Copies of this chain bind each other. A is one copy, B any other.
Amino acid sequence: MKRLAILTSGGDAPGMNATIRAVLNKAAHHDIEVVGVNYGFLGLVCKNFTSLDTEKVNSSISMGGTILYSSRYPEFAEKEIQLKAIENLKEANIDGLIVIGGRGSHHGALALSNLGFPTIGIPATIDNDIPGTEFTVGFDTAVNTVVSALDKIRDTANSHVRTFVIEVKGLRSGDLALWSGVAGGAESILIPEQELDLAHVASKIKQSVERKKKHCLIVLAEGVMSASELTTKLKEEGVLHIREVELGHVPRGGSPTPYDRVLASKAGAAAVNLFLEEKFGNCLCIQYNKLVPVSLKDALDIEKNFIDLSLYPLNSSISY
């Protein structure tokens, strides 16, 4: 019987559990044993292996977080530690590893693959910052959480005729801000991929106030600057009645949306197929709306970016 290890790594993302479920159940149909690794790459190094309870896993399809726990473990960039991980995997008679996580985790998966261990990646992060895929598991849920907050903030903004700056996660990628901003009907969206024209933002707010618009929402990716910094600057530009909100960690959790669960299900099943076909060194990306295996190296190549920045000009053209 083949043995397949599975771990979740980096920031947790809604849908990680649905991914684990798909892997476990698909593997059961092929008589593959699935071994859980607690706390991501750290668990590999500490031999924190665990068995997976089918009932618990099946019930977790609707739950946020990860039943395998996760950790940030920057030390895993060191080759010695990677070799230790592989040693532990071999000692435990593991024939392959599925890594569920974001950009950092996929760099870890690539390292193991380069060292010869059969490794497969599944992109799962609310940041949607793996260039090779249009969508990562967890992103749609995070967008839903942010937009639900925007809808609430719009109520208050409307009632008090105010401008709100709402800061969301996104150091390098403005995708969460873009999707949330378009869906939330934001007047402006500020992302790290675009140069900031503060005077233009301020002028747009002032024009909308002049047109008697009751609210103004500015969605800001943290990579640009902080909400309090932007608020200060907009006040200096003459914007009045402005408030700030920082959504912080809240969009990291929560029950995954159907989109994320379906993506998780597809990716989990496909990962087991790759394992059966011994096609290692790949991760499962959405490209042109199809789930395809992409080499870990290509998926991380920023030159081959599948992120859709067309939402940026779109928002300018439909906000008024």
- The total of chain A residues at the interface (CB under 8 A) is 84
Q: Closest B residue to A187 by CB, please name it.
A: B58
CA–CA, A73 to B160, complex, Å?
11
Q: Which of A62, A143, A180, A246 has the most CB of B within 10 A?
A: A62
B156 touches A259 (CB 8 A): no
- Contact partner of A320 among B58, B71, B160, B288, CB < 8 A? B58
> For A14, what are the chain B residues with a Cβ–Cβ distance below 8 Å?
155
**B151–A253 contact, CB under 8 A?**
yes
Q: Using Cβ atoms and an 8 Å threshold, which residues of chain B touch A11?
A: 156
Within 8 A of B (CB), among A245-268: 245-255, 257-259, 261-262, 265-266, 268
Check B258 against A317 for contact (C-beta < 8 Å): no
Q: Which of B26, B257, B320 contacts A317 (CB 8 A)?
A: B26
The distance from the CB of A108 to the nearest CB of chain B, in whole angstroms, is: 17
- Bound CA span A64–B149, Å: 12
User: Which residues from chain B contact A103 at a C-beta distance below 8 Å?
Assistant: none
Contacts of A161 in B (CB 8 A): 69
* A47: Cβ under 8 A from any B Cβ: no
A159-192 vs B, Cβ < 8 Å mask (1 yes, 0 no): 1110010000000000000011011110000000
* Copies of this chain in the oligomer: 4
Q: Which residues of B contact A158 (CB under 8 A)?
A: 59, 65, 69
Which residues of A in the span 306-320 have a Cβ within 8 Å of any Cβ on B?
Answer: 311, 314-315, 317-320
Judged by a CB distance under 8 angstroms, whether A269 is at the interface is: yes
Is residue A243 contacting chain B, with contact meaning CB distance below 8 A? yes
Q: C-beta contact mask, A31-59 vs B, less than 8 Å → 1, else 0?
A: 00000000000000000000000110011
Q: Check: A66 CB closer than 8 A to any chain B CB.
A: yes
Closest to A135 in B: B289
Q: How far is the CB of A229 from chain B (nearest CB, A)?
A: 15
- Confirm or deny: A70 has a beta carbon within 8 angstroms of a beta carbon on chain B: yes
Contact of A245 among B8, B143, B147, B248 (CB under 8 A): B248
- Can you name the residue of chain B whose Cβ is closest to the Cβ of A252? B156
Distance (Å) between the CB of A320 and the closest chain B CB?
Answer: 4
**A144 in the interface, Cβ–Cβ < 8 Å?**
yes
- CB-nearest residue of chain B to A245: B248
Known pairs A12-B160, A134-B289 / 18 extra A-B pairs, C-beta < 8 Å: A8-B159, A12-B156, A25-B319, A28-B320, A55-B214, A61-B185, A62-B151, A70-B159, A145-B152, A147-B257, A152-B250, A152-B253, A152-B254, A153-B253, A179-B262, A182-B265, A257-B257, A266-B314
